[in-house]
DNA sequence: AAGATAAGTGAATGTTCATTCATTTAAAAT
DNA sequence: ATTTTAAATGAATGAACATTCACTTATCTT
C-alpha cells in the first residue's frame, strides 16, 4: 500500500495555526487551508474527521510540544526560586521565539471548542508542578496557596507582557516593545510575591 | 419620520456578545443573529456597515462600559494600596458578575479584528491610571516600573483566576471554583510584589 | 388628515463553506 | 511483474454565508 506522508499532517497543522493567527478562526476555511498546505481539500479529511477534529488535534499538538519543552531541565525537587526561574525563562523563551504558537494556544482557550479539548495530556507535567508547589510550601519557600493562585501570580503576568509585545500595544493601545529588563524585573516581583 | 428604536441596537449587540461566547466568532452568522435579536437581517445593516463594523462597535461598547464602571469611586490621588484595592475589586466584581462581557473582551483581543479597534477610547481613564502609578512611584509606595509591568503584575493574575472560574477548570483541566478567599489572597500577594 | 422620511422587512443574490465521491496514483506485498 | 491497498485528488454537492433590494410601515411635520 501507499505510505502516509506524515509531513503532510505537519504542514496542514502548521498552516492552520498560522492562518488562525492571521485571519482568525472565522477566516479559516478548509479550502483555503488545503491550498496553503498544497494538498487537496479531500486529503485533509484522510487525517482529520472534520474541521473541529483538526482544530482539537492542533491544540493538543501545540500543548504537547509546549509542555515537553518547558519541562526540559526542570525537576520538581529543585529549590523554589531555581525551579520557578527555570520555568519562567523556558516559558518566556518559547512564546517569544514562537509567537504564533503562544498566540494560538491562548486564543484557543477562549473558544467554545476548548471545552471539548480532551484531558489526554500526559499528567506527568501537572503532577510534576503539583509536587514542586507542595514541596515548596512544605519547605517554607512558598506562601501556602492553591495551585491556581500560584499559577496565576507566577505566570499570568509573563503571558500578559508577551501578549502586549506580540500585538505591539499595551492595555491602552500605546505602542509597546518588551525588553529583557522588564522580563527580569517582573520575575523578581513575582518571586517577591510568592516567597514567605 | 419614523424614529430609531435604540433598544434594537442594544439587543443586537447583546445577542451578538452572547452568541460569540457560546459558539465562537466562527459560529456567529448575521442571519442567526438577526433571528436571536428578533429583527430582519437587513435591519442590522441599518445600524452597522458590515459584520466587522458590528464586532468593532460591540468591542468598543463593552470597553466603554467596563472602563466607566471600574473608574467609578477611583481617584488617582488615592494612596497606592487603597487605589489598587478599589481597582482590583471593581474589576473582579464586574467580570464575575458579567462573565460573558469579560470573556468577550478578552477573546476579542486575540482576534485579528483587534488590530483595527480604533483608539477612540476616552484617554481620561488611561491618563488617570498613569497619574496614579507615577504618583505612587514618586511617593515611594510602588517599585519603579513601567506601566505595562505594573498592569501585568497587578491585574493579569486576577483575570486569569476569573477565567479559570468561568470555564470551571484550571490550567491542567481539573475542576475549579474561585473563592473570595483566593481573590483576597491574590490581591495581598500582588500588593506585596508591588510595594517597595 | 396628508405627505414626507427614514426605520424596518422578507425574499433573493451570488459567493463561499464543509464535506463527499468517483477516480487516479504510488508503493508495499506477492 | 502483477496485485493489492490505502493515499491522494479535482470536481461536485447542497447548505449556509454576508449582503442587498424592492417594498411596507410607523411616526414626525405640516
- The per-residue pLDDT for A2 is 80
Adjacent-strand bridge partners of B169: B175
Q: How distant is C1' of C14 from CA of A10, in Å?
A: 35
Distance CA B87, CA B81 (A): 10
pLDDT of A55:
98
What's the Å distance between residue B33 CA and nucleotide C9 C1'? 15
Contact assignment for B170 to A149 by CB distance below 8 Å? no
What is the C-alpha separation between A12 and A8, in angstroms, rounded? 6
Q: How distant is the Cα of B2 from the closest Cα of chain A, in angstroms?
A: 36
Confidence of residue B6 (pLDDT cuts 50, 70, 90): confident
Q: How far is the CA of B34 from the C1' of C22 (A)?
A: 40
Identify which of A123, A156, A192 has the shortest CB distance to residue B192: A192
Kindly determine whether the C-beta of residue A50 is less than 7 Å away from any atom of nucleic acid strand C: yes
List of residues 6+ apart from B106 with CB closer than 8 A: A110, B159, B163
DSSP B111: S
Nucleotide nearest residue A5, measured CA to C1': D7
Q: Is the CB of B8 under 7 A from strand C?
A: yes
Q: Is the predicted pLDDT of residue B119 greater than 80, yes or no? A: no
From the list B107, B152, B186, the residue facing A161 with the nearest CB is B152
C-alpha cell, B176:
475549579
Give the C-alpha separation, B65 to B117, whole Å: 16
- CA dist., res. A114 & res. A135, Å (int): 31
Alpha carbon of residue B109 to chain centroid: 10
> By the 8 A CB rule, do B39 and B54 touch?
no
Residue B71 scores a pLDDT above 90: yes
Q: Are A185 and B149 in contact (CB < 8 Å)?
A: yes
Q: Is the CB of B3 under 7 A from strand C?
A: yes
Position B120 scores a pLDDT of 67
CA of A58 to C1' of D6 (A): 24
Q: What is the DSSP letter of B175?
A: B
pLDDT digits (tens, 9 = 90+) for B123-143: 899 999 999 999 999 999 999
Instruction: Outline where chain A has alpha helix (H).
Output: 6-23, 30-36, 41-47, 51-70, 80-97, 99-109, 123-138, 147-167, 180-194
Question: What is the value of pTM for the model shown?
Answer: 0.96
Nearest CB to B161; choose among A106, A109, A152: A152
Distance to chain B for A103, nearest Cα, Å? 7
Give yes or no for a contact between B147 and B130, defined as CB atoms under 8 angstroms apart: yes
CA–CA separation, B74 vs A186, rounded Å? Answer: 25
Chain A: give the shortest CA distance to residue B54, in Å.
15
Cα separation of A186 and A180, whole Å?
Answer: 10
Which residues does chain B have within 8 Å of residue A157's beta carbon, measured at their own beta carbons? 149, 152-153, 156-157
CA atoms within 13 A on the CB side of B2: 3
Per-residue pLDDT of chain A (196 residues; tens, 9 = 90+): 788 888 999 999 999 999 999 999 999 999 999 999 999 999 999 999 999 999 999 999 999 999 999 999 999 999 999 999 999 999 999 999 999 999 999 999 999 999 999 776 788 999 999 999 999 999 999 999 999 999 999 999 999 999 999 999 999 889 999 999 999 999 999 999 999 9
User: Are B165 and B178 spatial neighbours (Cβ–Cβ below 8 Å)?
Assistant: yes
Can you name the residues that pair with B175 across neighbouring β-strands?
Answer: B169
Q: What are the cell numbers at A64?
A: 504537547
**Rounded-to-integer distance, Cα B72 and Cα B87, Å:** 9
Rounded Cα–Cα distance for residues B149 and A119 (Å) = 33
Which of the nucleotides in strand C have any atom less than 7 Å away from a protein CB atom? 4-12, 16-22, 25-29
Beta carbons of B170 and A155 less than 8 angstroms apart: no
**How far apart (Å, rounded) are the C-alpha atoms in residues B24 and B6?**
26
Look over chain B and give the mean of its residue pLDDT values, rounded to a whole number. 96
Rounded mean pLDDT, B51-77: 97
Which chain A residues are closer than 8 Å to B25 by Cβ?
24-26
B71 CA from D27 C1′ (Å)? 40
CB contact at 8 A, B104 and B57? no
Which of B18, B26, B151 is best to mutate for the A interface (most A CBs within 10 A)?
Answer: B26
Distance, in Å, from the CA atom of A134 to the CA atom of B109, rounded to the nearest integer, reads 34
Amino acid at each position: 500500500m501507499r505510505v502516509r506522508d506524515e509531513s503532510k499532517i505537519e504542514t496542514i497543522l502548521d498552516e492552520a495555526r498560522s492562518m488562525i493567527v492571521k485571519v482568525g478562526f472565522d477566516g479559516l476555511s478548509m479550502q483555503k487551508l488545503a491550498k496553503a498546505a498544497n494538498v487537496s481539500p479531500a486529503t485533509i479529511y484522510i487525517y482529520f474527521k472534520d474541521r473541529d477534529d483538526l482544530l482539537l488535534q492542533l491544540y493538543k499538538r501545540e500543548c504537547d510540544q509546549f509542555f515537553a519543552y518547558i519541562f526540559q531541565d526542570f525537576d520538581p525537587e529543585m529549590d523554589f526560586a531555581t525551579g520557578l526561574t527555570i520555568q519562567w525563562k523556558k516559558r518566556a523563551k518559547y512564546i517569544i521565539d514562537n509567537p504564533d504558537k503562544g498566540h494560538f494556544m491562548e486564543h484557543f482557550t477562549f473558544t467554545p471548542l476548548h471545552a471539548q479539548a480532551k484531558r489526554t495530556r500526559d499528567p506527568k507535567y501537572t503532577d510534576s508542578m503539583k509536587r514542586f508547589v507542595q514541596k515548596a510550601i512544605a519547605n517554607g519557600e512558598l506562601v501556602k496557596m492553591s495551585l491556581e493562585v500560584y499559577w496565576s501570580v507566577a505566570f499570568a503576568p509573563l503571558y500578559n507582557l508577551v501578549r502586549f509585545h506580540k500585538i505591539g500595544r499595551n492595555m491602552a493601545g500605546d505602542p509597546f516593545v518588551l525588553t529583557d529588563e522588564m522580563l527580569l524585573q517582573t520575575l523578581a516581583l513575582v518571586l517577591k510575591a510568592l516567597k514567605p
